[in-house]
Structure 1
Amino acid sequence: MAVENTTPNFLFTSDQLKTYTKLFYNFVISNSIYLFIIPTILSTTIHHFSAHGFNQTTITQLHKCYANDPRSFIVGLVCLSLLLLGTIYVLTTIIRRPGKVYLVDFACYKHDPSFLASTEAVRQRLETVISPESIAFCRKVMEKSGVSDNVFVYGLKDFPPKSTFDCARGEAETVIIGAVDDLLAKTGVNPRDIGMVIVNISMFNPLPSLSAMIVNRYKLREDVISYNLGGMGCSAGVIAVDLAKRLLQGQRNTYALVMSLESPTSGYYVGGDRSKLLSNCLFRMGGAALLLSNRSSDHHISKYELKHTLRTHHGADDKGYTCVRQEVDEEGKLGMTISKDLIGVAGRALKANIAALGPLVLPISEQLLFLVNNVVRKWFKIKGISPYVPDFKLAFNHFCIHTGGKAVLDEVEKNLNLTKWQMEPSRMTLYRYGNTSSSSVWYEFAYAEAKGRIQKGDCVWQIAFGSGFKCGSAVWHALRTIDPAKVDNPWSDVIHQFPIIVNN
């Protein structure tokens, strides 16, 4: 009979030891100012003053104490100067700091069940306008896209539409009204209190603009600031947030309404160019409305605080500029070209973006490792040492990555060394909704809320890519824990079904 070994095993595996060592290193370096620097300054100051009559209060008496020991006087003076300079720095930083911007709440458009259709139904409708060879290509793309066999499509029953313009307008208005109505109901904000409206939509820009449509429908006040951003691609949602932040920091006590959406029906391609057929396979309807505030009184009712927005633009590079481009084919049919260079361009744009964002969000420990790695590789030219990729998991709790496609998500997962759990909101959003363009990062945010993952103090990183070529980041700080039982978003009724294993 075998005897069970009850001796406890206190040994760590090599991976666990590496992880714990890195966490300890990160804690020590990141908190060094509290652990070493400040205690050293304080103890040195106290020691020298106590040794030379700190209880003597007059300047004359202090002068007598240090007259015979100038070295101690210099040390004490330096310590006092450091404390004084530190105080001045903190005060000036607080004074110069831009006003805070809060996300009161956001609402993703809840798709009407009547818009749900199978991919086979989509292909059957496309058969009426494109060749069998193109249909076969679309079938292969859809099977490997990471998108569900059931997707939300506007206007499929009447496809091809008699008027593409009317169909696109109907889709845009349906999404905008659904999302904004939901947002106003959630927040209880009077539309007359909204001081600015920003709409971003790339391929459909009617006259009057969609931002003007919002002003008209909700009867916003006459001095409202209105912007309509077009042609800026899937990263435009982050760009719109950045614009709203800059406007809010220049005004007082107002709200900004940001609406991010796309109208895929306006861009259906009916030719045979495979690089243009990709958009038919991936892009689907969707949108998100956000209410931002610069009112300090809204801190207690808001969900998040906007910490950083950052954009990197690779438009000067020809490949970056042309990798996603709206143009006509040889037969004069308009479509959106998605080139084979997209993944490489997106990878370079991501690296440039995280290099710029890193100093703003990474703990000192990671910045130090990154600096040492660069010095060793570039200055000392030591071969065989790989570039150090900072661990952004130490800075962020949640990642919302634009659902540009399965290949794009794979590339980001690889570059940032993310876990399956961290990639789950992005992959499930791609699966259920497809590529909803600039609003995809908000459907992912809504997924994390519905799953009950957002805790007070968490940091959320939204990463978006767009034509031009641009990569944008938005960093949010959770002001409170989000109770999934109180969340009402497009995922709420079905969240128990996710995650789903996607084999394609």
Structure 2
Amino acid sequence: MAASLLRSLFDLTTFTNNLLGLAPILIASIFYLIHKKQTTVRLLDYACYKPPPSYRAPTSMFVEHLEHEHELDQESVDFQVKIIEKSGFGEETSIPPALARHPSDKSISFSIDETKTVVFNVVETLLHKSNTNPRNIDILITNSSMFCPTPSLSALIVNKFKMRSNIMSFNLSGMGCSAGIISIGLAKDLLKVHKNSLALIVSSEAMNLNWYTGKNRSMLLTNCLFRLGGAAILMSSRDQDKEKAKYSLQHLERTHKGQDNRSYSCIIQELDQDNKLGVSITKNTVAVAGEALKANMAVLGPSVLPLKEQITYAISLIIRKTYIPKFRNAFEHFCIHPGGRAVISAIKKSLSMEEGDVEASRMTLHRFGNTSSSSIWYELSYIEAKGRMRKGDKVWQLAVGSGFKCNSAVWKCLCNVEGSDETNVWSDGIHSYPVEIPETINIL
């Protein structure tokens, strides 16, 4: 019995010693988990590019430009006119000056000028309105799908604003209209690793080099859908920014369907039959976008939907009954990428939305057109200018793009956002919106 007692004491002593030996590791792990949990990524502010009135491309002017483009045949002109008639564009969308020339000038020097005009404007506006010194930026991320010069766009910004030599800079290209959310995701990951840091994200697209003058109709679509724009976003993981931040990032989900050939090739840059370079947007794009959206919703849903909706959706999967979760119960606002009138309508139908849910998307398409990856920020600006964004509201930014990708970002508003911000791109005309957009317009 004494021997048994000694063995028990020995085992207890051994266990205690082992536990004490692990104590530093356990304590360090607890501190790490607590510290990791407290790292919140916030959006301090953002700015969108507002083209001057001289950049406007009213419908009649745009059609006149097509008719004077000597490389376009009459059938190509007529096709683009039909697309414009149904585009949902208003009279204030803009193009860079180089495209308004006769003939248009697609030289790289004009593309650099276009990019500088947009990027420098939005960055300067954002730094000024947020009272941020460029040398305080720790992380810089730029994204532009079609324009990738050397030195990179990120280097262009570093040079212009004389940022620090140890800044972490990244330049993303070829990632389509959803690249803005990809940039947000990259910034989030970097801010969580490099705590107490500031990240500047700049989303833009150069129209000039992508003007297509061939006969391929799927490539002619890009001339009709895209317009001039850009956005700069300032994010932070610094505790000192908690009180002045506008939003906190709640969730971010990325879905990539590139393993499927149809999805991969539905939007693709290639040479046409006459060896002219263009970006083809095929008829499969809307269907592919719907499939990518469903996949993205399946991952995002459990993180954002109320429990009742999650249970109902789970039961529908078990009994194989079609049920579309009511995402309207999870969000107050939606920023759906305005890739085109058909894209907005297809997503609205897929999510069982009401017309008011896509108001910001349709109005952005009407006034600014599809500005690629920056479009979702014009939509958020619209909601703010309307005075609809209140503390505690959640907004879903949803973007689709080549690859094929569907990406989502969910933000929670941290304060009541006033609608009277003079730097808001909608500030001078928000009183006239929303407007009724006809199914077609008569150009001729």
* Fold shared, TM-score > 0.5 on shorter chain: yes
d(CA) in 1 for partners of 2:409, 2:102: 37
**Distance in 1, Cα, partners of 2:106 & 2:353:** 44
What is the identity, as a one-letter code, of the residue corresponding to 2:342?
A
Q: Secondary structure at the match of 1:424?
A: helix
Residue 37 of structure 2 is aligned to residue 97 of structure 1: yes
SS of the equivalent of 1:252 reads coil
The secondary structure found in structure 2 opposite 1:484 is: coil
1:444: which partner in 2?
379
Amino acid at match of 2:77: I
Q: Give, as a single letter, the amino acid of the residue that structure 1 aligns with 2:231.
A: A
Shift in CA distance, 423/162, structure 1 to aligned 2, threshold 3 Å: closer
Displacement after TM superposition at 1:299 (Å): 1.0
Cα distance in 2 for residues equivalent to 1:106 and 1:296? 19
1:374-398 Cα offsets, whole Å, 9 max, x none, are: 2222xxxxxxxx4111110111110
- Aligned equivalent of 2:331, options 396, 400, 413: 396
Q: Kindly indicate whether residue 168 of structure 2 is the aligned counterpart of residue 225 of structure 1.
A: yes
Task: For 1:439, give the aligned amino acid.
Answer: S
Q: Deviation at 1:419?
A: 1.4
- Tell me, in whole angstroms, the C-alpha distance in 1 between the residues paired with 2:137 and 2:34: 27
Superposition deviation, residue 266 in structure 1 = 1.3
**Within the alignment, does 1:304 sit opposite 2:247 as a pair?**
yes
Residue in 2 aligned with 1:242?
185
Deviations 1:191-233 (A, max 9, x none): 1110011000011111111100000000000100111100000
Give 1:107's aligned amino acid: A
Aligned counterparts of 1:126 and 1:212: Cα–Cα separation in 2: 35
* Contact 2:211/2:223, CA 8 A, preserved across alignment: yes
Shift of 1:125: 1.8
1: CA distance, partners of 2:49 / 2:391 = 25
Query: Could you tell me how far apart the structure 1 residues matched to 2:305 and 2:94 are?
Result: 38
1:489 aligns with 2:424: yes
Give me the whole-angstrom Cα distance separating, in 2, the residues matched to 1:162 and 1:460: 40
Task: Check if 1:106 corresponds to 2:41.
Answer: no
- Larger Rg over CA atoms: 1
TM-score between the two structures when normalised by the length of structure 1? 0.79
- Report SS of the residue matched to 2:93: strand
**Structure 1 equivalent of residue 364 of structure 2:** 429
Match of 2:351 among 400, 416, 420: 416
Aligned counterparts, 1:60-209, within 5 A: 94=34, 96-97=36-37, 99-127=39-67, 128=69, 129-155=71-97, 156-209=99-152
Task: Give the equivalent residue in structure 1 for 2:393.
Answer: 458
Please name the residue that 1:23 is paired with.
none
Instruction: Give the equivalent residue in structure 1 for 2:412.
Output: 477
TM superposition shift of 1:138: 0.4
Deviation of the 1:94 alpha carbon: 4.8
| Aligned-partner residue type, residue 459 of structure 1 | K
Task: Find the aligned partners of 1:146 and 1:183 in 2 and give their Cα distance.
Answer: 29
Note the C-alpha offset of 1:369: 0.8
CA contact (8 A) 2:105 2:208 kept: no
**Residue type matched to 1:280 in 2?**
N
- Matched AA of 2:87: S
C-alpha offsets along residues 424-461 of structure 1, whole Å, 9 cap, x if unaligned?
A: 00000001111100000000000000000100000010
1:39-54 equivalences in 2 (<5 Å):
none
Q: CA, structure 1 residues 136+149, in 2 after alignment: closer, same or farther (shift >3 Å)? A: farther
Identity, % of aligned positions: 47
1:338 aligned residue: 281
Q: Offset of 1:159 from its aligned partner?
A: 4.1
| Distance in structure 2 (CA, Å) of the matches to 1:457 and 1:391 | 19
Contact 2:286 2:346 in 1 (8 A): yes
Aligned counterparts of 1:486 and 1:326: Cα–Cα separation in 2: 39
The one-character-per-residue Cα deviations of 1:118-155 (angstroms, maximum 9, x if unpaired) are 12212222222311111100000000111114421112
Separation of aligned partners in 2, 1:91 and 1:369: 38
Distance 1:91 1:218, change over 3 A: closer
Find 1:215's aligned residue among 144, 155, 158: 158
Secondary structure at 1:456 match in 2: coil
In 1: Cα distance, 2:287 partner to 2:235 partner: 34
Corresponding letter in the other structure for 1:364: L
Distance 2:140 2:243 in 1: 23
* Structure 1: distance between partners of 2:429 and 2:48: 15
Structure 1 unaligned residues grouped into runs of 5+: 1-89, 378-385
Letter in 2 for 1:406: R
2: CA distance, partners of 1:94 / 1:193: 27
Aligned ranges for residues 305-384 of structure 1 at < 5 Å?
Answer: 305-377=248-320
**CA–CA separation in structure 2 for the residues paired with 1:166 and 1:269:** 18
Counterpart of 1:269 in structure 2 is 212
> Given the superposition, is the C-alpha separation of residues 269 and 175 from structure 1 closer, same or farther in structure 2, using an over 3 Å criterion?
same
Summarize the Cα distance change of 1:159–1:180 in structure 2 as closer, same or farther, 3 Å threshold: farther
CA distance in 1, matches of 2:291, 2:63: 34
Give unmatched runs, 5+ long, in structure 2.
1-29, 440-444
Runs of 4+ in structure 1 deviating by more than 4 angstroms, as ranges, are: 90-96
Give the match's secondary structure for 1:152.
Answer: coil
C-alpha distance in 2 between matches for 1:350 and 1:414: 12
Measured after TM superposition, the shift of residue 91 of structure 1 is 10
Alignment RMSD (CA, Å): 1.5
Task: Decide whether the 8 Å contact of 1:461 with 1:476 is kept in 2.
Answer: yes
> If the length of structure 2 is used for normalisation, what is the TM-score?
0.89
Aligned residues: 407
CA distance in 2, matches of 1:252, 1:122: 48
Out of 423, 437, 442, the residue aligned to residue 502 of structure 1 is 437
Relative CO higher for 1 or 2, CA cutoff 8 Å, sep ≥ 6? 2
SS, match of residue 309 in structure 1: strand
Distance in structure 2 (CA, Å) of the matches to 1:439 and 1:486:
19
